[in-house]
Amino acid sequence: MILHFAVHFNFINLIIDIMFGVRIEWKNGKNEHSLPTIKKNRIHKFSFVINKNIYYFCRPKNENKLIKMAKKLVTILAGRSSIKLAEEIADSYGISLGKVVVTDFSDGEFQPSFEDNVRGRDVFIVQSTFAPSDNLFELLLMIDAARRSSARQIIAVIPYFGFARQDRKDKPRVSIGAKLVANLLSASGVNRIITIDLHADQIQGFFDIPVDHIYASSIFINFLKKLNLPNITMASPDTGGTRRAGAYAKILNTDLVICYKQRSKPNEVEKMSLVGDVKGKNIILTDDIIDTAGSITKAAQLMMDNGATSVRAICTHPVFSGQAYERIENSPISEVFVTDTIPLRKDCDKIKVLSTADTFAEVIKRVVNYKSISSLFNFK
């Protein structure tokens, strides 16, 4: 009977080895039966317990075969607000960007549809949700379409998470927009969120699904080191960004200065004062969002008035609304380094764009292969 089982067992094992490049070992309790097996020098990878019998599925020597198989089960799609970035992410990951057609109707409605089969696949949908709110609704429709197309898993890659500044009730009778967006995304059927530099870390708690919150510091720190500027001092244009600027200062081993500002109304700074010494220093202002550029340009002028040698700025999300471009052009800021989470509306000699594509592609690889993401941001 054991011999009969061995013959059938090894026949099944041969089929599995041909199809998937893996082999199975059989053990029963403490006694091991040395059955004929294929390629004995494999490494144990997964185990399943069935009626006290342990079946070990082992990783093949050539992992490229599994990597290619995993890539075939991944589809990267893009909403209209992030097509260029999504193309770069897909290229960095090693696959082609999936085809999406959005039909616009005369009454202003629109409907996205996928031209590729996504059944049983891990679908990554790349879309920043900056204004107008059509970008957010387009993302919701794409998630719903993927769910109704039997995607195995739907991951929303949201480089810029819109409404993130509405993360609490700062006065009576107002909404918490970030929480509402989280509810909408969850209701649409998304399984996971990947985003970069949320305006407030606590937004992760608005979701009951996994949120991979990654940091643009992995891009900016390497870039700042390559500038080789002497006497660098990190600065925050407001007290809310002190923690962020402090993290950069610690990693780069520099001093830290802070601007204290008072607003008369949203997007308008009434008064700003400086905490720290900037005389003879090359200042790097850091912020997650530059909106109208009022705060960052006023802070830059304050630094120069107090004896700074130069002022540069780094920012993850270049919202650049209103007169932002004009203010930057007319300010003492020599350079502004931003990422491509939001496409620029116009060219500006002072603004330099750094790509997030490789970072997002690496995170996608780690999600697919169940590897650590936090290790990407362990700076030494």
Catalytic residue among 84, 250, 261, 346: 261
Residue pair 144/189 in contact by the 8 Å Cβ criterion: yes
Q: What count of other Cβ atoms lies within 10 Å of the Cβ of residue 204? A: 15
Amino acid at 288: D
Q: Return phi, psi of residue 102, to 5°.
A: -110, 120
Residue pair 26/55 in contact by the 8 Å Cβ criterion: yes
Active site residue 261: yes
Alpha helices in 253-315 (DSSP H): 294-305
Distance between CA atoms of residues 286 and 316, nearest Å: 9
DSSP string, 120-166: TSEEEEE---PSSTHHHHHHHHHHHHHHHTT-SEEEEEESS-TTTT-
Q: What count of other Cβ atoms lies within 10 Å of the Cβ of residue 202? A: 10
Taking CA atoms, 195 is separated from 26, 105, 148, 201, 257, in Å, by: 43, 30, 24, 11, 28
Given CA atoms 237, 239, 241, 245 in this order, what sign does their dihedral have?
A: positive
Structure tokens at 101: 């057609």
Q: Return phi, psi of residue 284, to 5°.
A: -120, 105
Distance between CA atoms of residues 22 and 39, nearest Å: 9
Distance between CA atoms of residues 324 and 320, nearest Å: 5
Residue pair 312/335 in contact by the 8 Å Cβ criterion: yes
Residue 110's DSSP bridge partners are 104
DSSP string, 2-50: HHHHHHHHHHHHHHHHHHHS--EEEEETTEEP----S-TT-EEEEEEEE
Structure tokens at 132: 């107008």
Amino acid at 330: N
Active-site amino acid positions: 261
